[in-house]
């Protein structure tokens, strides 16, 4: 697939914009770039490599000649249009949750299971959930060395995970509070300014949210660990960008903090920042607009055998979405 024709579906959204930037910044060897969005965004002009590209209206017949279609327009759009793109001969890389648990659709984090890109009978590849990607970037090197058994995680998810409206809601609420005016939350079920909300996505019958169960089901599929045990609590925090995750991971074999740090050496996409004597540990501001995830606060767990506690942070719009999708395209 030399100099492919690449299409971005949902080109004017937050992830779509970062897809364009990633393709340019990484010098992706495409021959042509086409941009698609809903009719209300059609006609907008985007800049790519110094040239203007006009955004076109997304329809079922726009994929002729497209080699790779990067979808970032939501699950409903993916379900409706991704099969048309695949039928036209494109390989679809989808950022939504629409196809992640389909047995005929590989779910890929290139640093972990790049080999899965070759098995795509539906012509579709799924990008995992952003929090799952960030967490597994820290866990995969440890699994390789010590054998992962279980995960207990709490996430601290930025408002940009809800799109631009999440940022606007946080800003509006902060402004209202400082000015002493009233407001009514609309994006989130509770006030997000100066607060944290232990609900990301909808609750299911077992009391977990859909977001929390993604860590379980997607983690098992990506790591090829059908018996992996996961318990997760997802929390929305008043941070603009970059998700953080506190993880207790239990392993098959004995593990120490020093051995874990050594396991990260030479692994792409993950950087150890772990010097508590100098207050060096990952924080969202340090990972915002950065490709690599960062891991720190690595220490022996005091409850479980063969277990570690760690803290991992990553930009959920980049590695959690756009960058991961472009890396998959690079594999193709």
User: What is the pLDDT, as a whole number, of residue 2?
Assistant: 83
Taking 80 as the threshold, does the pLDDT of residue 131 lie above it? yes
232 is catalytic: no
Taking 80 as the threshold, does the pLDDT of residue 34 lie above it? yes
User: What is the pLDDT, as a whole number, of residue 251?
Assistant: 98
Neighbour count for residue 77 (Cβ, 10 Å) = 20
Report the pLDDT averaged over residues 162-169: 93
pLDDT tens profile 266-320: 999 999 999 999 999 999 999 999 999 999 999 999 999 999 999 999 999 999 9
List the catalytic residue out of 130, 232, 234, 293. Answer: 130
pLDDT tens profile 50-92: 999 999 999 999 999 999 999 998 999 999 999 999 999 999 9
Model pTM?
A: 0.95
User: What is the pLDDT, as a whole number, of residue 87?
Assistant: 97
Least confident range from 39-48, 121-130, 253-262, 298-307: namely: 39-48
List the catalytic residue out of 22, 143, 232, 243. Answer: 243
pLDDT tens profile 187-204: 999 999 999 999 999 999
Give CA–CA dist 39/58, Å, rounded.
7
Report the candidate in 176, 173, 198 with the shortest Cα–Cα distance to residue 187: 173
User: Cβ distance 200 to 192 under 8 Å?
Assistant: no
Sign of CA dihedral 96, 97, 103, 106: positive
Report the pLDDT averaged over residues 130-137: 98
Taking 80 as the threshold, does the pLDDT of residue 169 lie above it? yes
Give CA–CA dist 49/25, Å, rounded.
9
Taking 90 as the threshold, does the pLDDT of residue 14 lie above it? no
Share of the chain above pLDDT 70, in %: 100
Report the candidate in 55, 69, 61, 74 with the shortest Cα–Cα distance to residue 12: 55
Task: Give the three-state DSSP class for 203.
Answer: strand
Report the candidate in 211, 32, 4, 224 with the shortest Cα–Cα distance to residue 119: 224
293 is catalytic: no
**Concatenated DSSP letters of 90-149:** PEEEE-SSTTTT-TTS-B--HHHHGGGGG--TTSEEEPPPHHHHHHHHHHHHHHHHH-EE
Phi, psi of 72 (to 5 degrees): -150, 60
Report the pLDDT averaged over residues 211-222: 97
Give CA–CA dist 73/141, Å, rounded.
32
- Domains assigned to the chain: 5-128+322-331 (3.40.50.720), 132-316 (3.30.360.10)
pLDDT tens profile 96-105: 999 999 999 9
Task: Give the three-state DSSP class for 302.
Answer: coil
Give CA–CA dist 80/75, Å, rounded.
9
């Amino acid at each position: 697939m030399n100099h492919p024709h690449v299409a971005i579906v949902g080109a004017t959204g937050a992830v779509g914009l970062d897809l364009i930037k990633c393709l340019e910044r990484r010098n992706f060897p495409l021959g042509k770039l086409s941009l698609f969005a809903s009719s209300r965004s059609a006609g907008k002009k985007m800049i790519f490599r110094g040239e203007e590209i006009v955004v076109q209206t997304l329809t079922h017949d726009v994929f002729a000649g497209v080699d790779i279609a990067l979808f970032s327009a939501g699950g409903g759009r993916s379900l409706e249009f991704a099969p048309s793109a695949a039928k036209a001969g494109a390989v679809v890389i989808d950022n939504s949750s629409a196809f992640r648990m389909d047995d005929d659709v590989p779910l890929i984090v290139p640093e972990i299971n790049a080999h899965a890109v070759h098995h795509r009978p539906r012509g579709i590849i799924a990008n995992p959930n952003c929090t799952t990607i960030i967490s597994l970037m820290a866990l995969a090197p440890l699994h390789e060395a010590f054998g992962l058994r279980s995960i207990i995680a709490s996430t601290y998810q930025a408002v940009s995970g809800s799109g631009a409206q999440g940022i606007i809601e946080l800003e509006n609420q902060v402004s209202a509070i400082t000015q002493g005016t009233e407001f009514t939350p609309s994006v989130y079920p509770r006030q997000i300014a100066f607060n944290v909300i232990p609900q990301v996505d909808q609750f299911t019958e077992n009391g977990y949210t859909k977001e929390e169960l993604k860590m379980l089901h997607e983690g098992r599929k990506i790591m090829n660990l059908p018996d992996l045990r996961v318990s997760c609590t997802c929390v929305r925090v008043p941070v603009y960008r970059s998700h953080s995750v506190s993880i207790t991971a239990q392993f098959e074999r004995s593990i120490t903090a020093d051995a874990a740090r050594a396991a990260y050496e030479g692994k792409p996409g993950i950087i150890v920042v772990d010097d508590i004597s100098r207050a060096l540990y990952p924080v969202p501001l340090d990972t915002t607009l950065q490709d690599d995830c960062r891991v720190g606060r690595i220490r022996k767990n005091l409850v479980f055998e063969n277990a570690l506690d760690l803290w991992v942070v990553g930009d959920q719009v980049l590695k959690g979405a756009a960058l991961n999708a472009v890396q998959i395209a690079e594999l193709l």
